[in-house]
């Protein structure tokens, strides 16, 4: 578990208190494989609204629903904010995937969002991403070898294309047992949806992203 540092000097990363333990995580997933409710979270690591979701709601979802076995959260990182000449979202996503191979995805994920910089301004450079990886507790030799793999670029771009073609047009987009929430929903609304779905489980939670859309207010 990570603790929030006190009086950290300028330039150091903010390390958030993690709401989940290693026992709950499996790569890019947190929660029981038998959970009746599955939430797919489509996000871009440079997306300010995604940061709002992570910093304001993720810990609550884990504490209220994941730990009880009601909810499983599956990260679906995509790249939609990069612009010509910038690959910051792409490189962050590759870094996260390589952290996931060591089951250090969620610390990496949270540290990035709590320390998110400006979009496409060079704030998320190679040094920043490596600093996040170290703070997340990865084996750096293995992680360094992983991020150098060309196949991960193809995988990330393919996942992005698939998401866009299935109707994911912005981030964050949450798919909760097939029900779509675009943007950051009210926590009370999201919690009520999870409670209802957990009480009356329906078909497989990882259904099509385009089922029922609920825009954020």
DSSP codes, 182-208:
ES---HHHHHHHHHHHHHS--S-SS--
- 42 pLDDT more than 80: yes
pLDDT of residue 96: 98
pLDDT of residue 22: 85
Cis peptide before 62 (omega within 30 of 0): no
For residue 158, give the DSSP letter: H
- 18 pLDDT more than 90: no
Q: What is d(CA 45, CA 88) in angstroms, rounded to the nearest whole number?
A: 9
Burial class of residue 122 (count of CB atoms within 10 Å of its CB; 0-12, 13-18, 19+) = exposed
pTM: 0.88
Position 53 in a domain: yes
Range of the domain at 159: 22-215
CATH number at residue 71: 3.40.30.10
pLDDT of residue 215: 55
Q: Are 117 and 51 in contact (CB under 8 A)?
A: no
Mean pLDDT computed over 64-84: 97
- 8 pLDDT more than 90: no
Q: What is d(CA 190, CA 39) in angstroms, rounded to the nearest whole number?
A: 10
Q: How many CB atoms lie within 10 A of CB 140?
A: 11
Position 91 in a domain: yes
pLDDT of residue 82: 98
- 63 pLDDT more than 80: yes
Position 170 in a domain: yes
Q: If we measure between CA atoms, which residue out of 105, 119, 99 comes closest to residue 46?
A: 119
Position 13 in a domain: no
Position 6 in a domain: no
Position 5 in a domain: no
**Count of structural domains, the chain:** 1
Confidence band, pLDDT 50/70/90 cuts, at residue 2: very low
Q: If we measure between CA atoms, which residue out of 78, 92, 106 comes closest to residue 19?
A: 106
Position 8 in a domain: no
């Amino acid at each position: 578990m990570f603790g929030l540092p006190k009086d950290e000097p300028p330039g150091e990363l903010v390390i958030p208190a993690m709401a989940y333990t290693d026992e709950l995580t499996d790569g890019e997933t947190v929660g029981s494989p038998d959970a009746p409710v599955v939430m797919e979270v489509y996000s871009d690591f440079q997306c300010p609204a995604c940061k709002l979701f992570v910093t304001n709601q993720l810990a609550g979802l884990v504490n209220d629903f994941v730990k009880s076995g009601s909810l499983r959260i599956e990260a679906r990182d995509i790249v939609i904010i990069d612009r010509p000449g910038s690959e910051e979202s792409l490189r962050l996503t590759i870094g996260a995937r390589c952290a996931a191979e060591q089951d250090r995805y969620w610390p990496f994920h949270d540290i990035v969002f709590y320390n998110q910089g400006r979009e496409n301004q060079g704030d998320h450079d190679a040094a920043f991403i490596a600093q996040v990886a170290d703070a997340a507790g990865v084996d750096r030799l293995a992680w360094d070898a992983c991020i150098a793999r060309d196949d991960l670029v193809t995988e990330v771009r393919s996942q992005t294309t698939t998401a866009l073609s299935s109707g994911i047009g912005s981030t964050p987009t949450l798919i909760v047992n097939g029900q779509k929430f675009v943007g950051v929903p009210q926590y009370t609304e999201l919690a009520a949806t999870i409670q209802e779905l957990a009480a009356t489980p329906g078909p497989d939670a990882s259904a099509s992203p385009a089922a029922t859309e609920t825009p954020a207010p």
